[in-house]
Chain A
C-alpha cells in the first residue's frame, strides 16, 4: 500500500519507519508535485501544527490534502496531525482539538491505556492535544484520564499520542486495515 507521509516538519521519518516495518510503501510529500501515482492513504505526523499549516498553505498543498481527504482518502493524524484534521484546520473530521491541552513540556507523559479493538497499548503524549468536542459520526476509540485521545470517523483516524514513537505497531496496523477497507 502506498502511503503518503506529510514531511513539512516534525517526526515524519518515525512514521516512515513504522510503515516500512508493516510492509507498506511510504513516500514523503512536501509539495503538490510529490503527489504522484496511486495513493492509498495519508499520514499527518507530529510536530508543530502552526509550522505545518504555514508551509502547507503555500503552493496549493493545503487544498490538495483537503480535497483528497474529503473525497475519501484514508488518513491518520497523530498529535499535531490530529489538530490539522479538526474543524478549525483542514475541517475534514467533525472534531475540535484543544492544543497543548496538558500544558507545557513538564505536562508531557507516557502511559498504558486501552484502545478499542487493540487492548492495552503504550501512549506517549508530548505537549499533546485532546479532543474537546466531537460530532455524531465520530467514534471514540480511547480515553485517558477522562479525556478523548483517539477517534475514528469513517476511514479517518486521529490520536493525541504518538504510536510512531513507542515501537508498538498496532495502531499503524489498524490504520492500514482501515485504509484497505478491511476495518
Chain B
C-alpha cells in the first residue's frame, strides 16, 4: 500500500480511545485540549446551530481554522462539503491534519464524493452501514465514523448505524469464500475490501462514533457497541458546564466498561444540551451522500 494511505490510517490509530470535539473558537479549542481531547474539529458553527440557522452550510473561513491550529498542539480537523474537492484543496493548503467530508454541511455534489486518493492529507467520512463505509474507503477515506444525526443530542441514529455496521461485519465473516463476490455486489463495494472484512472481522480503518453524543453514558454506550473513539459535536459547548462535561466524556471513553466510574463521572454535570428527538426534525443529514 502506498505510504501516504498507510500513514493516514496510522494517524487515526493514534486517535483511538479518544474524543474529538467540535470547537468554534481558539478558547474552546484550548478548553478541549486541557480536558484531554485527542483532536478538535474546527468549524464556524456547530451542527445544532447549522440546523437552527438553515441555509447553505459551507467550509469554515481558513483564517478561523488557522487561529485554532495556532492555539493547540493536538491534531486539528475541519469539514468540507461532500464532493467539494476545491474546499478540500484549500484545507490541504493550510495543512489541516484531517478533513471530514461531511454530511453536516450542504452537499456540493449529489453523485460523486471527493476522490480522496488524489490528496496527501487524510479524510474521515460518515457511514450508516458497511457498504457506505467500504465505498468511502475505496475512494480513499482513512478513517470512518457513524453518521448519527448531528446537532440533535439524540444518540439513536448513531446506535442504529453502529449496530448495522457490526451486524454486517459479522455476516460477512460468516460467509464462505465463494459467497464474497455476490456480497460485494450487494454492498456495492470492492471485493478486496469485503475480503479484508471477512478475514479480519473489522474495517480496514479506524471506526469512530459520531452524531448525537451528549453525555458520558452516550459515549460509553457507543464504545460498548464497538466504536474505537467518539466525536462530540454540539454536546459539549451547548451544555451548561462545557469544561466539566468535556473531561467527563473523555474519561468515559477510557473507562467505558466500568459502571462505577461512569456513575461518578455522570454526577453534577449541569444542563445537558436540550436536544431534539429524531421525529421532530425536518432535515435528516444522514441521508446525504450515501
Contacts and interface: CB of A to CB of B under 8 A. Distances in A.
Contacts of A54: 34-36, 247, 250
A64 interface: no
A127 B14 CA distance: 10
Contacts of B26: none
B250 A51 contact: yes
17 contacts: A7-B17, A46-B14, A47-B14, A47-B38, A50-B73, A54-B250, A55-B251, A80-B14, A100-B73, A104-B96, A105-B11, A105-B75, A105-B97, A106-B120, A108-B7, A110-B6, A126-B10
B126 interface: no
- Number of contact residues on B: which range applies? 35 or more
A10 interface: yes
Nearest to A106: B95
B208 interface: no
B254 interface: yes
A14 B13 contact: yes
B18 A9 contact: yes
Contact of A8 (B74, B121, B254): B254
By CB atoms of chain B within 10 A, which of A9, A13, A99, A103 has the most? A9
A162 interface: yes
Contacts of A48: 14-15, 18, 38-39, 74-75
A59 B38 CA distance: 20
Given A54-B36, A105-B75, A105-B97, A11 B254 contact: no
Contact of A11 (B14, B69, B120): B14
Interface string A77-119: 0011000000000000000000110011110111000000000
Interface string B27-49: 00000011111110000000000
A30 B122 contact: no
Contacts of B215: none
Contacts of A174: none
B267 interface: no
Given A9-B16, A127-B75, A165-B13, A30 B255 contact: yes
A58 interface: yes
B17 A127 contact: no
A9 B13 contact: no
A9 B37 CA distance: 10
Contacts of A127: 11, 14, 75, 97
B226 to A, nearest CB: 14
Contact of A99 (B39, B73, B120, B121): B73
A127 B250 CA distance: 22
Contacts of B253: 9
A62 interface: no
B7 A110 contact: yes
